[in-house]
């Protein structure tokens, strides 16, 4: 038995909109600040993001190990996590953390087994145990999808799409003006499209609609939406996917884009 030591360095200055810090953990340098909707600067990560990330990274690895031990098929797991700060700004307690796992490459006929594994992983995630009793830490919706398209193909689709998108004058200038990290956008898109492709063949889930609305609180014009969908359509048609899958994916994309168009 021995104790393991982990180190990180943090530097902070300023308050409110001027408050910002930098942290060095391992070989990573990250910027952090208080969220804008809590009166902070809103740049980089927030303490809330870091708490959610600490628990969710531990949970994702624990869940995959649990699935393997139980011999439940899984190519990968995707975790969508939600943290809730209650009674802001009076008491401002981080009250709830919900992990919503999606298993890609699973066996949907064994849904109950996956749900039990998800709960077991929550109980065994040792970072999660640290907040137990102080935060309502629980498993939300567990989704199990067959791997219709390998993740490598989804990654290729996203990479090809963004090569086209950053060549478009509007999107290129918009990304630059807003300081958008395209690599972050691509990673989110990989996970999002994987769920669309490998999920239900009809319709889009409520979680996907809510995710789009949260991350795209702004609206867009019909012309800009047409450009985005057009470039996505071109890219999808270039891929070696079954025609029915291509049509289904683009139908979902059009439905998700519609509420953003004003």
Query: Angle between the 243-257 and 222-238 helix axes, to the nearest 10 degrees?
Result: 160
Q: ∠ CA 161-166-160 to the nearest 5 degrees?
A: 20
What gap in Å lies between CA 141 and CA 80, rounded to an integer?
10
Domain with CATH 3.30.300.20 in the chain: 46-145
151-260 is a CATH 3.40.50.300 domain: no
Token pair of 163 as six digits: 């090569």
Question: Are 252 and 209 within 8 A, CB to CB?
Answer: no
Fold of 46-145: GMP Synthetase; Chain A, domain 3 (3.30.300)
Per-residue pLDDT tens listing for the chain (262 residues): 899 999 999 999 999 999 999 999 888 899 999 999 999 999 999 999 999 999 999 999 999 999 999 999 999 999 999 999 999 998 899 999 999 999 999 999 999 999 999 999 999 999 999 998 999 999 999 999 988 898 899 999 999 999 999 999 999 999 999 888 899 899 999 989 988 998 755 444 555 545 554 555 457 899 999 999 999 999 999 999 999 999 999 999 999 999 999 8
In the chain, which residues fall in CATH 1.10.490.10? Answer: 151-260
Q: Note if the pTM is more than 0.85.
A: no
- Taking only the tens place, the pLDDT of each residue in 170-209 is 999 999 998 888 998 999 999 899 889 987 554 445 555 4
Structure token pair of residue 182:
């395209």
51-83: per-residue pLDDT in tens? 999 999 999 999 999 999 999 999 999 999 999
Rounded Cα–Cα distance for residues 46 and 7 (Å)? 19
């Amino acid at each position: 038995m021995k104790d393991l030591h982990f180190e990180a360095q943090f530097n902070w200055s300023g308050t409110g909109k001027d408050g910002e810090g930098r942290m060095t953990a391992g070989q990573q340098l990250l910027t952090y600040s208080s969220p804008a909707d809590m009166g902070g600067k809103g740049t980089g990560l927030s303490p809330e993001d870091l708490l959610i990330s600490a628990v969710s990274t531990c949970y994702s690895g624990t869940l995959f190990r649990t699935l393997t031990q139980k011999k439940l098929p899984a190519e990968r797991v995707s975790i969508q996590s939600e943290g809730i700060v209650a009674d802001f700004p009076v008491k401002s307690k981080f009250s709830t953390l919900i992990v919503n796992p999606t298993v890609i490459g699973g066996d949907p006929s064994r849904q109950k087994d996956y749900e039990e594994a998800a709960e077991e992983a929550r109980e065994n995630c040792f970072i999660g145990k640290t907040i137990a009793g102080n935060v309502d830490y629980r498993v939300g919706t567990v989704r199990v999808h067959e791997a219709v398209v390998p993740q490598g193909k989804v990654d290729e689709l996203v990479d090809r799409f963004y090569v086209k998108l950053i060549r478009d004058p509007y999107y290129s200038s918009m990304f630059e003006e807003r300081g958008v990290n395209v690599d972050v956008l691509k990673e989110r898109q990989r996970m999002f499209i994987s769920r669309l492709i490998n999920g239900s063949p009809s319709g889009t889930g409520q979680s996907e609609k809510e995710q789009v609305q949260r991350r795209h609180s702004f609206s867009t014009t019909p012309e800009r939406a047409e450009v985005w969908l057009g470039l996505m359509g071109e890219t999808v048609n270039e891929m070696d996917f079954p025609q029915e899958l291509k049509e289904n994916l683009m139908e979902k994309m059009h439905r998700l884009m519609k509420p953003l168009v004003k």
